[in-house]
Amino acid sequence: MCGIAGIVRWDGREPDRGLLLQMAESLRTRGPDGVGLFREKGLGLVNTRLSIVDLVGGDQPISNEDGSCWVVQNGEIYNHEELRGELEGLGHVFVTHCDTEVLVHGYEEWGAKGLLGRLNGAFAFALVDRKARRLLVARDRLGIRPLFVFEGGDRLLFASEAKAFFQDPSFEGEVDPLGLAEVFTLWACRPGGSFYRGVRELGPGCLLWVDLEAEGAEGAWEERWWDFSFFEEGCYASVGEAAEHLRELLEDSCRLRLRADVPVGAYLSGGLDSSATAALVQKMGVPELRSFAVAFADPLFDESSFQGRMAAELGTKLETVRIEGGEIAAVFPEVLRRCEKPLLRTSPAPLFLLSKAVREAGMKVVLTGEGADEVFAGYNIFKEMKVRRFWARQPASECRPLLLRKLYPYLARDLGRAEAFTRAFFRKGMEALEDPLYSHRLRFGNTARCFRMLAPEIREAHPQEEILEALVADLPESYASESPLGRAQDLEIRTFLQGYLLHSQGDRMLMAHSVEGRFPFLDHRLLEFAARLPDRFRLAGLREKWVLRKAVEDLLPEEIGKREKRPYRAPILRSFLGPGAPSWPMELLEEGSLKASGLLDPLPVRRLLAKCRKNLETGVSESDEMALVGVLSTLLLQNEGYDVPECDPDQKVQRDVLIREGKVQG
């Protein structure tokens, strides 16, 4: 795992070494073990390394035999050993044991798309073909590793994190009102956008070509090299047969992700996904597997009893980070600095503290269970969609909406106001079965409270309905042919997983403390497998992740294997405004701060704050809590300048490749 950045100068001048080093310094937590540079006419690349594979010989940039191709990479190519063997058989000579080296030889042998199609990994890399005078920047299939692009004036910049752009004097760092409105509608920016004006995130499964002989931005263009769709193929006669194949895929996915020259640990949430991952890893003979978990002082959020039960079953050493009082608010400013866009939940903060504990324990790599819920239909949003479509066939039915009690057991305890409110909520748009956003329309509608916090001019310029229409326009043609469940999962992956979960809870919180996360359920082979299954194999009635449960049932205690999905949440209201909260939330919410922002509407924000303080003990609605987090995170980011200490332009780096007039120096 690493950080990468680069500068393309359309005027052909050699990029400044000092600026490249400053960009690297801003990415230091992604790679504290070394810095590498590549510079030639019109192009500069930089890498900050977190050494995991080939600790001694894997410094970047790395070239092929004749130096005609050079590469810097963020991430890992998990099947590099197999690719290395194939390439050596074709005559290529390797000088390291690092996974990154397969990229230059593979590109030379198979070309860009031939190489990308063979990779199993989580990566973002930049490869320069010096003979063709072009640059290839590529991102993994599901967008596990981030990559941002900025075009301005006489240059194009790219980096693992947008904060690197703040080191360039030509980058103004202005907030993009559209990006802000998208977050307050979709929880995340749409693919191709960002929170900063002029910055775009390279899409998952996309590549960027740059013609290094071009004289302007027309010399850069993007292509999609991989995509997915849910389309049943009928390959399996039974769920048991499918489960057997899934088990083989999962075992191989875990096997590949254990490849490292440092110890590999695991997160253990107490749920099905992380428990199955840890059990599979232990079965492969990992000695003294270390596991890590988050616990909460508030029992409403705590899952420590299940974590302890699974740890005891595995015999693993479990290290727990217990979250109390105002700890979430205390670290929230730094969490936002890592996320680089507003949040509507505090869930990333405990994971930030967890990755800190992992690093302090001397670990660099952990396996986690991210992705299983999206791939195998684990969330309530999929069940809600199914119940609503069933109810819509007989809208007057009094029995059909009772299925909602299976999703929300508290309804069975309160047959009065709570059930009446919930029925009315889930009835909204229930009969609009052809709506492309049917499964998620209620979630997006639930952000209306957040959206009202934005300044009137932003709401008028970028209304929520236009944002949703743009989201529909982004969807691939194959989307319309998918089943209702397939469309729901497709949409969840493209919005929540790629735009929010991996960005804000995955990569960023881990790399904040130089820890690489590996996600076995996000092996593209698992998604392609699940997307071809009958819907009932993923969601059997209202039983989520049915085929996955069958595949791992022999590995887990019954209370874990049959446990229903419990969404991961973290405290909000009392964290920011309760007795143990720090002072900064109230300081940011002062009248002067709100007026100076220009991004928020002071009147609804004041009303929201008054409501939250009045109901501190009894609590407020989920939409109110989300609005509070959105307001605070917007103000925090607006005041963040991403200053980095000055770098010595003559400082020593692990590898400094300077190419001038065809000669390699350094």
Q: What is the pLDDT of residue 660?
A: 75
Nearby residues of 479 by Cβ (< 8 Å), 6 or more positions away: 229, 436, 487, 490
pLDDT in tens, 358-388: 999 999 999 999 999 999 999 999 999 999 9
- Which position has the higher pLDDT, 362 or 654? 362
DSSP labels for 494-528?
A: IIIIIIIIIIIIIIHHHHTTT-EEE-GGG-HHHHH
Identify the domain boundary among 561, 595, 619.
561
Residue 276 domain flag: yes
Q: What is the pLDDT of residue 1?
A: 63
Identify the domain boundary among 561, 592, 608.
561
**Statement to judge: residues 341 and 281 lie in one domain:** yes
Q: What is the pLDDT of residue 563?
A: 87
Hunting for tokens 């992380």 — which residue is that? 274
Pairing label, strands 199-201, 148-152: antiparallel
Is residue 657 within 8 A of residue 29, CB to CB? The reply is no
- Report, as an integer, the average pLDDT of 306-325: 92
CATH of the domain at 303: 3.40.50.620
Residue 218 domain flag: no
pLDDT in tens, 410-468: 555 554 556 677 788 889 999 999 999 999 999 999 999 999 999 999 999 999 999 99
Cis-peptide into 61, omega within 30 deg:
yes
Q: What is the DSSP letter of 366?
A: E
Give the pLDDT band (50/70/90) at residue 597. Answer: very high
Q: What is the pLDDT of residue 253?
A: 98
Residue 43 domain flag: no
Q: What is the pLDDT of residue 411?
A: 52
Q: What is the pLDDT of residue 160?
A: 97
Is 666 a residue whose pLDDT tops 50? no
Structure tokens at 393: 């066939």
- Report, as an integer, the average pLDDT of 52-57: 88
**Statement to judge: residues 313 and 368 lie in one domain:** yes
**Statement to judge: residues 513 and 624 lie in one domain:** no
Is 537 a residue whose pLDDT tops 70? yes
- Report, as an integer, the average pLDDT of 584-610: 94
Three-state SS at 283: helix
**Statement to judge: residues 322 and 358 lie in one domain:** yes
How much of the chain, in percent, has pLDDT values that exceed 70? Answer: 95
Q: What is the pLDDT of residue 377?
A: 97
Q: What is the pLDDT of residue 623?
A: 94
**Statement to judge: residues 248 and 345 lie in one domain:** yes
Residue 69 domain flag: no
**Statement to judge: residues 290 and 367 lie in one domain:** yes
Instruction: Give residue 629's domain range.
Output: 573-638
Backbone phi, psi, residue 431, to 5°: -95, 0
Residue 295 domain flag: yes
Nearest-angstrom CA–CA distance, 337 and 207: 26
Nearest-angstrom CA–CA distance, 181 and 462: 7
**Statement to judge: residues 557 and 577 lie in one domain:** no
Longest CA–CA span in the chain (Å) reads 80
Q: What is the pLDDT of residue 650?
A: 62
DSSP labels for 209-231?
A: EEETT-SSGGGEEEEE-------
Nearby residues of 512 by Cβ (< 8 Å), 6 or more positions away: 29, 334, 335, 338, 352, 355, 356
pLDDT in tens, 184-240: 999 999 988 899 999 999 999 999 999 999 988 899 999 999 999 999 988 898 999
Residue 1 domain flag: no
Q: Please, what is the average pLDDT of the chain?
A: 93
Structure tokens at 511: 């790399």
**Statement to judge: residues 606 and 551 lie in one domain:** no
**Statement to judge: residues 250 and 275 lie in one domain:** yes
Identify the domain boundary among 561, 594, 616.
561
Structure tokens at 604: 């609804």
Q: What is the pLDDT of residue 647?
A: 64
Three-state SS at 534: coil
Q: What is the pLDDT of residue 665?
A: 46
Nearest-angstrom CA–CA distance, 6 and 151: 12
pLDDT in tens, 224-281: 999 999 999 888 989 999 999 999 999 999 999 999 999 999 999 999 999 999 999 9
Nearby residues of 392 by Cβ (< 8 Å), 6 or more positions away: 430, 431, 433
**Statement to judge: residues 349 and 273 lie in one domain:** yes
- Report, as an integer, the average pLDDT of 327-345: 95
**Statement to judge: residues 302 and 337 lie in one domain:** yes
Range of lowest pLDDT (261-270, 343-352, 619-628, 657-666): 657-666
Spacing of C-alpha 26 from chain mean position: 20
What kind and span of H or E run contains 316?
none
Tell me how many degrees the CA angle 400-403-405 measures, rounded to the nearest 5: 135
545-574 core/surface letters (b: 16 or more CB in 10 A; e: else): bbbbbbbbeebbeeebbebebeebebbbbb
- Report, as an integer, the average pLDDT of 273-291: 91
Q: What is the pLDDT of residue 101?
A: 97
**Statement to judge: residues 492 and 634 lie in one domain:** no
Q: How many domains does the chain have?
A: 2
Residue 411 domain flag: no
Residue 634 domain flag: yes
**Residue 187 falls in which region: left (phi positive, over 0), alpha (psi -120 to 50) or beta:** left
- Report, as an integer, the average pLDDT of 15-19: 94
Is 25 a residue whose pLDDT tops 70? yes
